[in-house]
Amino acid sequence: MASNAERRLMKDLKKMQDEEHDQTITAIPNDSDIFKWDAIIFGPDDTEWEGGVFKLLMEFTDQYPNKPPDIRFLTKVFHPNVYADGRICLDILMNNWSPVYDVQSILISI
């Protein structure tokens, strides 16, 4: 039987596969582990990141969605809210986490 976290991650995956989701982001679970996702953010038009392709790793625990995932950029990013090791300083991933956030909304926030 699937855990609450696994059911929620499957729901998030279905939402990411919906044709109406934001096409500047994509995320899929690793083939062998539903708790590890590979994500890509395409640099938004009319920004200094336009044309960029930014790879991220999202790692969830069995406490998701009650606890935020650990997310880090695999692509080198120069931004004041991104540490040298790729970890992200973002309020919704730290102090203001809420179970209402899903994979799509997290990536849009990033």
* Annotated active-site residue in 10, 74, 89, 94: 89
The answer to whether residues 37 and 16 touch, using CB atoms and an 8 Å cutoff, is no
Would residue 89 show up in a list of annotated catalytic residues for this protein? Answer: yes
E strands in 23-66 = 25-30, 33-42, 53-59
CB atoms within 10 A of CB 47: 9
Residue 107 contacts by C-beta under 8 Å, 6 or more apart in sequence? 22, 25, 27, 39, 41, 56
Please state, in angstroms and rounded to a whole number, the distance separating the CA atoms of residues 94 and 68.
8
Residues labelled as active-site residues:
89
